[in-house]
Amino acid sequence: MTDARLRSSRNQCLLGLALCVVFGAIWRLIPHPLLLPVFGLIPFAILFVLTRPFLMVLLFVVFSFFRIHEVFPQLYSLKIPLLLSLASLGALCWHIGISQRYRAYWHRDLTVLTTFAILVLIGVIMAENRGIALTYFKATYWKILIMVFAIAWLSRAAKDFALSSNVIAFSGMVVGLVALHNKANGIGLVEGTRVTIGRAIGSMLGDPNDLALVLMFPTSFAVALLLTKSMPLYSRLIGLLSTPILFSAVLATQSRGGLLGILTVFGLFGYRRMKSKTLFFSLGALAAALLFLAAGISDRASGGAAEEGIDASAMGRLYAWEAATKMAVAHPFTGVGLDNFYANYFFYSPHWDGLNHAVHSTWFGVLAETGFLGLTVFVTMIICLIRTAFVTLGRIETNLTHYDPAVYTTAQAVLAGLLGTVVSGTFLTQGFTWPIYILAALVIAVGNYVKTQASQSSPEPRRQPQPHPQQETASGDSSVAFCEAKCPHAENIHDSSQKTLPD
């Protein structure tokens, strides 16, 4: 206890000294009087960051994935993602490397994920266009990898899972509301009917398919919050409000991948709750047909022109997938490099129409940019994550009363989200974007939490050592001594037993 207090005092002194040096250097360079109140608030800001590390990581993920600063352009100039990234990394390094309040652990799924990340890094070095690959790696991919470990290591309590489910569902609802507003007012529509957000400022959400991906991801959390009866009222209210909003917004994007993903999410929850599987599949087929009509996909400008029975959008995807396969054949072990598919489309596609095209498929995107080896490891990672999610959910459902409802909610959400990602991956490119990796981190975190709780609640019984035959006499003497101490007539019993012994 004394050593811990000394270590804590030493860390506080080092932190105070470091702040004084930094503040002194800044004041030396910029002697402005407005810096004084800023210096006064910085220690409180640092204290807030260090006491809530998971919140910092979660907010960084929300701003980076949901692009909140692009949904509301008024926030763009504040550089909130940059500030949150610094706060997240600082809190992570402090608590794991210095204070050791959190301890890093390893999981077999992290091994597969790390292997894939190493292959991606090798592909960056060997890329056809190394500048493009390095730019994407430095701007986005390394942050995703860091946040995987941050989420997995900092999610240690039920309140962390509750916070993540609520914040993800609420953030998705906000983005969905803006998308529906744009749809109603005809703002940023693509092909005349497909909704986008921030297209005028070059936002990632300016692509309807990327917007569908962003909206599909929180849907599984919203439905899980809504259907888990033991969750608090405010959490179920978030689920109740966000589910129809996200559903309507995905339909407004008219994205095939988004529609398939959201059908998978709803289908999994329905399959697990409906006793009659025949009725489930019948209603599912009917619902899929109705949603396809309601989404108006057949009326899209890119989907209405028939080309030998297949619409133009579908043919474009087939041409892109053909180009991806040729890239992998040319570079089977490294692919053409991270984010290099678009730039290399001209050199590998036999159907050139004057424009480069996106791959619009997770699987073919990974195949093209990491090769056959990378795709094999990526598919292995997805299979391992799904298996972990199923095992974790099974452990929770065998003893529901033992686990917090927030843990059960998150376990359902990440499983549904993973399956939705796998299905929507046919038409959406998400091999190197946030959703899969956030789900992977939460799958690992929930799995580690449930496994730890199970081992603590039911420890294995300790095996009693068996006495050696040569020790029977000694054990017998000790038994007699025990009886003499506890039984008032033990001495008489002992004497009588001695009399029966032969001379």
- Distance from C-alpha of 335 to C-alpha of 342, rounded to nearest angstrom: 13
- Distance from C-alpha of 246 to C-alpha of 22, rounded to nearest angstrom: 46
Q: Are residues 144 and 8 in the same domain?
A: no
Q: Are residues 118 and 34 in the same domain?
A: no
At residue 302, the pLDDT reads 55
Which distant-in-sequence residues (6+ apart) come within 8 Å of 206 by Cβ?
188, 196, 197, 198, 199, 200
What per-residue string of b and e applies to 442-478 under the rule 16 or more CB within 10 Å gives b?
Answer: bbbbbbbbbeebeeeeeeeeeeeeeeeeeeeeeeeee
Q: Are residues 235 and 384 in the same domain?
A: yes
In a domain, 465, yes or no: no
Q: How far is CA 480 from the centre of its chain?
A: 63
In a domain, 498, yes or no: no
In a domain, 362, yes or no: yes
In a domain, 338, yes or no: yes
Q: Are residues 171 and 29 in the same domain?
A: no
Q: Which domain holds residue 10?
A: 2-48
| Beta strand 310-311 pairing with 306-307 | antiparallel
- Residues 267-291: tens digit of each pLDDT: 999 888 888 888 888 888 887 787 7
Q: Which residue, among 99, 92, 91, 90, has the nearest Cα to 10 in the 3D structure?
A: 99
Exposed (0-12), middle (13-18) or buried (19+): which is 9, by Cβ within 10 Å?
exposed
CB atoms within 10 A of CB 487: 12
Q: How many domains does the chain have?
A: 2
The pTM for the full model equals 0.81
Q: Which residue, among 167, 211, 184, 190, has the nearest Cα to 433 in the 3D structure?
A: 211
Q: Are residues 185 and 40 in the same domain?
A: no
At residue 489, the pLDDT reads 47
- Distance from C-alpha of 191 to C-alpha of 218, rounded to nearest angstrom: 26
Contact present, 217 and 172 (Cβ < 8 Å): yes
Q: Are residues 169 and 30 in the same domain?
A: no
Q: Are residues 18 and 167 in the same domain?
A: no
Q: Which residue, among 437, 393, 442, 404, has the nearest Cα to 152 in the 3D structure?
A: 442
Q: Are residues 42 and 112 in the same domain?
A: no
Report the DSSP beta bridge partners of residue 310.
307
Question: What is the chain's pLDDT, residue by residue, as a tens digit (503 residues)?
Answer: 556 565 667 777 776 777 778 777 776 777 767 666 766 777 778 888 888 889 999 999 999 899 999 999 988 888 888 888 888 888 888 888 887 788 889 999 999 999 999 999 999 999 999 999 999 999 899 999 999 999 999 988 899 999 999 999 999 999 999 999 999 999 989 888 899 999 888 888 998 988 998 999 999 999 999 999 889 999 999 999 999 999 999 999 988 888 889 999 999 998 888 888 888 888 888 877 877 776 666 555 554 433 344 455 677 788 889 999 999 999 999 999 999 999 999 999 888 877 888 898 999 999 999 999 999 999 999 999 999 999 999 999 998 888 999 999 999 999 999 999 889 888 888 899 898 999 999 999 999 999 888 877 654 444 455 554 444 444 444 444 444 444 444 444 444 444 444 43
The amino acid that residue 188 corresponds to is G
At residue 293, the pLDDT reads 76
At residue 103, the pLDDT reads 84
In a domain, 62, yes or no: no
Q: Which residue, among 383, 390, 374, has the nearest Cα to 333 in the 3D structure?
A: 374
In a domain, 332, yes or no: yes
At residue 44, the pLDDT reads 79
- Distance from C-alpha of 273 to C-alpha of 346, rounded to nearest angstrom: 49
Contact present, 385 and 109 (Cβ < 8 Å): yes
- Residues 406-423: tens digit of each pLDDT: 999 999 999 999 999 889
- Residues 237-261: tens digit of each pLDDT: 999 999 999 999 999 998 888 888 9
In a domain, 113, yes or no: yes
Q: Are residues 359 and 288 in the same domain?
A: yes
In a domain, 76, yes or no: no
Q: Are residues 38 and 151 in the same domain?
A: no
Q: How many residues does the chain have?
A: 503
